[in-house]
Copies of this chain bind each other. A is one copy, B any other.
Protein backbone atom coordinates (compact mmCIF):
# COMPACT_ATOMS: atom_id res chain seq x y z
CA UNK A 1 0.00 0.00 0.00
CA UNK A 2 1.41 3.39 -0.94
CA UNK A 3 0.25 6.73 0.38
CA UNK A 4 1.01 9.20 3.16
CA UNK A 5 -0.38 10.35 6.48
CA UNK A 6 0.09 14.10 6.92
CA UNK A 7 -0.32 15.77 10.30
CA UNK A 8 -0.94 19.44 10.94
CA UNK A 9 -0.06 19.54 14.64
CA UNK A 10 -0.33 22.94 16.26
CA UNK A 11 -0.62 24.48 19.71
CA UNK A 12 -4.31 23.80 20.16
CA UNK A 13 -5.30 21.15 17.62
CA UNK A 14 -4.20 18.10 15.70
CA UNK A 15 -5.41 17.30 12.19
CA UNK A 16 -4.55 14.09 10.42
CA UNK A 17 -4.96 13.58 6.67
CA UNK A 18 -4.78 10.22 4.94
CA UNK A 19 -3.55 10.58 1.36
CA UNK A 20 -3.39 8.06 -1.42
CA UNK A 21 -0.29 7.40 -3.51
CA UNK A 22 -1.06 10.46 -5.63
CA UNK A 23 -1.37 12.90 -2.75
CA UNK A 24 -5.16 13.02 -2.87
CA UNK A 25 -6.76 13.39 0.55
CA UNK A 26 -8.96 10.40 1.34
CA UNK A 27 -9.94 11.17 4.92
CA UNK A 28 -9.39 13.92 7.51
CA UNK A 29 -9.62 13.57 11.29
CA UNK A 30 -9.37 16.41 13.82
CA UNK A 31 -8.87 16.36 17.58
CA UNK A 32 -8.28 19.15 20.13
CA UNK A 33 -4.92 17.55 20.92
CA UNK A 34 -2.55 20.46 20.44
CA UNK A 35 0.96 20.16 21.85
CA UNK A 36 -0.25 21.83 25.04
CA UNK A 37 -3.28 19.63 25.61
CA UNK A 38 -2.32 16.09 24.82
CA UNK A 39 -4.47 13.08 25.79
CA UNK A 40 -3.24 10.21 27.96
CA UNK A 41 -0.31 8.60 26.20
CA UNK A 42 1.14 11.93 25.15
CA UNK A 43 2.38 12.48 21.61
CA UNK A 44 2.70 8.78 20.77
CA UNK A 45 -0.75 8.01 22.12
CA UNK A 46 -2.32 10.88 20.22
CA UNK A 47 -0.65 9.76 16.98
CA UNK A 48 -1.71 6.16 17.45
CA UNK A 49 -5.31 7.04 18.25
CA UNK A 50 -5.84 9.55 15.47
CA UNK A 51 -4.38 7.21 12.84
CA UNK A 52 -6.17 4.09 14.14
CA UNK A 53 -7.23 1.68 11.36
CA UNK A 54 -5.34 3.67 8.73
CA UNK A 55 -2.78 1.82 6.58
CA UNK A 56 0.87 1.58 7.54
CA UNK A 57 2.23 4.34 5.29
CA UNK A 58 4.89 7.03 5.94
CA UNK A 59 3.90 9.78 8.33
CA UNK A 60 4.94 13.44 8.28
CA UNK A 61 3.98 16.32 10.56
CA UNK A 62 4.41 20.08 10.61
CA UNK A 63 3.70 22.75 13.21
CA UNK A 64 4.44 23.21 16.88
CA UNK A 65 5.01 19.46 17.23
CA UNK A 66 8.59 20.31 16.17
CA UNK A 67 9.04 23.12 18.70
CA UNK A 68 10.86 23.15 22.01
CA UNK A 69 7.60 22.23 23.73
CA UNK A 70 6.70 19.71 21.04
CA UNK A 71 7.55 16.05 20.50
CA UNK A 72 11.07 16.69 19.21
CA UNK A 73 12.68 20.07 18.71
CA UNK A 74 13.66 20.40 15.07
CA UNK A 75 16.04 23.31 14.40
CA UNK A 76 14.75 26.16 12.27
CA UNK A 77 15.97 26.59 8.70
CA UNK A 78 17.09 30.17 8.00
CA UNK A 79 15.70 32.21 5.11
CA UNK A 80 15.81 32.22 2.16
CA UNK A 81 14.37 28.72 1.90
CA UNK A 82 12.26 26.64 -0.43
CA UNK A 83 10.92 23.13 -0.82
CA UNK A 84 14.39 21.61 -1.29
CA UNK A 85 15.80 23.17 1.87
CA UNK A 86 12.85 22.06 3.97
CA UNK A 87 12.92 18.54 2.52
CA UNK A 88 16.63 18.26 3.31
CA UNK A 89 16.03 19.45 6.89
CA UNK A 90 13.24 16.94 7.56
CA UNK A 91 13.76 15.28 10.93
CA UNK A 92 13.09 11.57 10.46
CA UNK A 93 13.23 10.68 14.14
CA UNK A 94 15.29 8.17 16.06
CA UNK A 95 13.86 5.03 14.56
CA UNK A 96 13.71 6.41 11.06
CA UNK A 97 10.12 5.66 10.21
CA UNK A 98 7.84 6.63 13.08
CA UNK A 99 7.18 10.26 12.17
CA UNK A 100 9.06 12.77 10.07
CA UNK A 101 8.79 16.37 11.29
CA UNK A 102 9.14 19.44 9.11
CA UNK A 103 11.46 22.13 10.46
CA UNK A 104 10.16 25.64 10.96
CA UNK A 105 11.67 28.71 9.34
CA UNK A 106 13.66 31.49 10.96
CA UNK A 107 13.98 34.97 9.53
CA UNK A 108 17.27 36.51 10.69
CA UNK A 109 15.68 39.91 10.01
CA UNK A 110 13.60 40.59 13.07
CA UNK A 111 14.38 37.88 14.14
CA UNK A 112 11.15 36.03 13.50
CA UNK A 113 10.05 32.40 13.41
CA UNK A 114 7.27 30.19 12.06
CA UNK A 115 6.27 26.55 12.38
CA UNK A 116 3.56 25.07 10.20
CA UNK A 117 2.93 28.03 7.92
CA UNK A 118 5.99 27.14 5.80
CA UNK A 119 4.27 23.89 4.86
CA UNK A 120 1.09 25.71 3.81
CA UNK A 121 3.18 28.00 1.62
CA UNK A 122 5.06 25.11 0.02
CA UNK A 123 1.67 23.61 -0.80
CA UNK A 124 0.43 26.89 -2.24
CA UNK A 125 3.51 27.28 -4.42
CA UNK A 126 3.16 23.70 -5.66
CA UNK A 127 -0.45 24.22 -6.69
CA UNK A 128 -0.34 27.82 -7.98
CA UNK A 129 2.33 28.99 -10.36
CA UNK A 130 1.09 32.58 -9.83
CA UNK A 131 2.16 32.34 -6.21
CA UNK A 132 5.84 31.95 -7.05
CA UNK A 133 6.21 35.74 -6.74
CA UNK A 134 3.69 36.87 -4.19
CA UNK A 135 2.86 38.08 -0.73
CA UNK A 136 1.10 35.35 1.22
CA UNK A 137 -0.94 36.22 4.32
CA UNK A 138 -1.88 33.57 6.88
CA UNK A 139 -4.25 35.27 9.35
CA UNK A 140 -4.55 33.96 12.87
CA UNK A 141 -3.37 34.23 16.45
CA UNK A 142 0.05 35.09 15.06
CA UNK A 143 -0.59 36.28 11.51
CA UNK A 144 2.22 35.78 9.03
CA UNK A 145 2.98 38.03 6.06
CA UNK A 146 5.32 36.13 3.79
CA UNK A 147 7.26 37.28 0.73
CA UNK A 148 7.81 34.63 -1.95
CA UNK A 149 10.21 35.27 -4.83
CA UNK A 150 10.93 32.75 -7.58
CA UNK A 151 9.32 30.07 -5.45
CA UNK A 152 11.52 30.75 -2.42
CA UNK A 153 10.40 32.18 0.93
CA UNK A 154 12.66 35.22 1.27
CA UNK A 155 11.08 37.22 4.11
CA UNK A 156 8.26 37.17 6.61
CA UNK A 157 6.84 39.08 9.54
CA UNK A 158 4.58 37.97 12.38
CA UNK A 159 1.84 40.30 13.59
CA UNK A 160 0.24 39.14 16.87
CA UNK A 161 -3.16 40.35 15.75
CA UNK A 162 -5.28 37.45 16.94
CA UNK A 163 -3.62 37.24 20.33
CA UNK A 164 -3.83 41.01 20.89
CA UNK A 165 -7.48 41.00 19.86
CA UNK A 166 -8.22 38.23 22.35
CA UNK A 167 -6.43 40.07 25.15
CA UNK A 168 -8.25 43.34 24.44
CA UNK A 169 -11.58 41.56 24.01
CA UNK A 170 -11.36 39.63 27.25
CA UNK A 171 -9.40 41.80 29.62
CA UNK A 172 -9.16 45.44 28.56
CA UNK A 173 -11.08 48.52 29.61
CA UNK A 174 -12.15 48.94 25.98
CA UNK A 175 -14.51 45.96 26.17
CA UNK A 176 -15.57 46.37 29.80
CA UNK A 177 -19.32 45.92 29.90
CA UNK A 178 -19.53 44.37 26.41
CA UNK A 179 -21.51 41.13 26.34
CA UNK A 180 -19.53 37.97 25.60
CA UNK A 181 -21.85 37.33 22.71
CA UNK A 182 -21.96 40.80 21.20
CA UNK A 183 -24.19 39.73 18.33
CA UNK A 184 -23.72 39.34 14.56
CA UNK A 185 -20.72 40.76 12.70
CA UNK A 186 -20.98 44.56 12.49
CA UNK A 187 -19.32 45.23 9.15
CA UNK A 188 -19.62 49.02 9.45
CA UNK A 189 -17.83 49.08 12.81
CA UNK A 190 -15.19 46.76 11.36
CA UNK A 191 -14.65 49.00 8.32
CA UNK A 192 -14.50 52.09 10.56
CA UNK A 193 -11.73 50.39 12.53
CA UNK A 194 -9.83 49.47 9.36
CA UNK A 195 -10.06 53.07 8.13
CA UNK A 196 -8.85 54.45 11.44
CA UNK A 197 -5.77 52.21 11.19
CA UNK A 198 -5.23 53.10 7.53
CA UNK A 199 -5.46 56.83 8.26
CA UNK A 200 -3.20 56.71 11.33
CA UNK A 201 -0.16 57.15 9.08
CA UNK A 202 3.27 56.48 10.46
CA UNK A 203 2.03 56.92 14.04
CA UNK A 204 0.17 53.63 13.64
CA UNK A 205 -3.12 52.23 14.87
CA UNK A 206 -2.04 51.82 18.49
CA UNK A 207 -2.08 55.63 18.73
CA UNK A 208 -5.81 55.32 17.89
CA UNK A 209 -6.67 52.39 20.13
CA UNK A 210 -8.10 54.49 22.94
CA UNK A 211 -10.38 56.22 20.44
CA UNK A 212 -12.60 53.13 20.72
CA UNK A 213 -13.41 54.24 24.24
CA UNK A 214 -13.82 57.92 23.33
CA UNK A 215 -16.14 56.98 20.45
CA UNK A 216 -18.24 54.87 22.81
CA UNK A 217 -18.45 57.71 25.35
CA UNK A 218 -19.42 60.04 22.48
CA UNK A 219 -22.24 57.67 21.53
CA UNK A 220 -20.67 57.28 18.07
CA UNK A 221 -19.94 53.59 18.68
CA UNK A 222 -22.28 51.28 20.56
CA UNK A 223 -20.73 49.08 23.25
CA UNK A 224 -21.56 45.92 21.34
CA UNK A 225 -19.86 47.27 18.21
CA UNK A 226 -16.53 47.80 19.99
CA UNK A 227 -15.19 44.24 19.39
CA UNK A 228 -15.68 44.46 15.62
CA UNK A 229 -14.25 47.97 15.60
CA UNK A 230 -11.15 46.63 17.39
CA UNK A 231 -10.96 43.70 15.00
CA UNK A 232 -10.95 46.16 12.10
CA UNK A 233 -8.38 48.39 13.76
CA UNK A 234 -5.97 45.51 14.41
CA UNK A 235 -6.39 43.86 11.01
CA UNK A 236 -6.11 47.29 9.40
CA UNK A 237 -2.88 47.79 11.33
CA UNK A 238 -1.52 44.62 9.72
CA UNK A 239 -2.10 46.08 6.27
CA UNK A 240 -0.78 49.52 7.26
CA UNK A 241 2.35 48.19 8.96
CA UNK A 242 3.16 45.60 6.31
CA UNK A 243 2.84 48.24 3.57
CA UNK A 244 5.26 50.41 5.52
CA UNK A 245 7.68 47.50 5.98
CA UNK A 246 10.08 47.51 3.06
CA UNK A 247 10.70 43.77 3.02
CA UNK A 248 7.10 42.67 2.97
CA UNK A 249 5.18 45.11 0.79
CA UNK A 250 4.72 45.24 -2.90
CA UNK A 251 3.98 41.83 -4.35
CA UNK A 252 0.44 41.96 -5.66
CA UNK A 253 -1.87 40.16 -5.52
CA UNK A 254 -2.08 38.99 -1.92
CA UNK A 255 -2.77 35.33 -1.29
CA UNK A 256 -4.85 34.60 1.80
CA UNK A 257 -4.71 31.16 3.40
CA UNK A 258 -6.84 30.27 6.39
CA UNK A 259 -10.18 30.03 8.11
CA UNK A 260 -12.91 31.25 5.76
CA UNK A 261 -14.64 33.64 8.20
CA UNK A 262 -11.36 35.22 9.25
CA UNK A 263 -10.17 35.52 5.64
CA UNK A 264 -13.45 37.25 4.80
CA UNK A 265 -12.50 39.99 7.28
CA UNK A 266 -9.08 40.32 5.66
CA UNK A 267 -10.77 40.61 2.26
CA UNK A 268 -12.88 43.48 3.57
CA UNK A 269 -9.79 45.18 4.98
CA UNK A 270 -7.88 44.65 1.73
CA UNK A 271 -10.60 46.59 -0.07
CA UNK A 272 -9.91 49.64 2.11
CA UNK A 273 -6.23 49.44 1.16
CA UNK A 274 -7.01 48.86 -2.51
CA UNK A 275 -5.03 45.65 -2.34
CA UNK A 276 -5.80 43.11 -5.05
CA UNK A 277 -6.39 39.56 -3.91
CA UNK A 278 -5.84 36.15 -5.43
CA UNK A 279 -8.68 33.60 -5.14
CA UNK A 280 -9.08 32.33 -1.55
CA UNK A 281 -7.19 29.25 -0.42
CA UNK A 282 -8.85 27.42 2.42
CA UNK A 283 -6.00 25.10 3.31
CA UNK A 284 -2.83 23.96 1.63
CA UNK A 285 -1.29 21.90 4.43
CA UNK A 286 -1.98 18.54 2.78
CA UNK A 287 -0.42 19.70 -0.48
CA UNK A 288 2.61 21.03 1.39
CA UNK A 289 3.11 17.87 3.43
CA UNK A 290 2.80 15.78 0.29
CA UNK A 291 5.38 17.90 -1.57
CA UNK A 292 7.87 17.76 1.29
CA UNK A 293 7.39 14.01 1.76
CA UNK A 294 7.98 13.49 -1.95
CA UNK A 295 10.99 15.82 -2.12
CA UNK A 296 12.39 14.17 1.00
CA UNK A 297 12.00 10.67 -0.42
CA UNK A 298 9.37 9.51 2.06
CA UNK A 299 7.07 8.62 -0.84
CA UNK A 300 8.06 7.62 -4.36
CA UNK A 301 9.01 10.65 -6.45
CA UNK A 302 7.36 9.29 -9.56
CA UNK A 303 3.92 9.90 -8.13
CA UNK A 304 2.29 13.13 -9.18
CA UNK A 305 -0.13 15.34 -7.30
CA UNK A 306 -2.47 15.36 -10.25
CA UNK A 307 -2.69 11.60 -10.75
CA UNK A 308 -5.95 10.29 -9.39
CA UNK A 309 -4.58 6.85 -8.66
CA UNK A 310 -1.17 5.75 -7.45
CA UNK A 311 0.52 2.43 -8.05
CA UNK A 312 -0.95 -0.15 -5.72
Contacts and interface: CB of A to CB of B under 8 A. Distances in A.
A111 B163 CA distance: 26
Nearest to A11: B173
Contact of A173 (B112, B163, B204): B163
A214 B171 contact: no
Nearest to A201: B244
A95 interface: no
B110 A158 contact: no
Interface in A235-273: 237, 241-242, 244-245
A1 interface: no
Contacts of A173: 163
Contacts of A142: 210
Given A160-B210, A172-B167, A68 B217 contact: yes
A202 B204 CA distance: 8
Contacts of A172: 160, 163, 167
B112 A237 contact: no
24 contacts: A110-B208, A110-B210, A110-B211, A111-B211, A111-B214, A111-B215, A111-B218, A111-B220, A112-B211, A113-B210, A113-B214, A113-B217, A142-B210, A157-B207, A160-B172, A160-B209, A167-B171, A167-B172, A203-B245, A204-B204, A204-B206, A204-B237, A206-B237, A207-B241
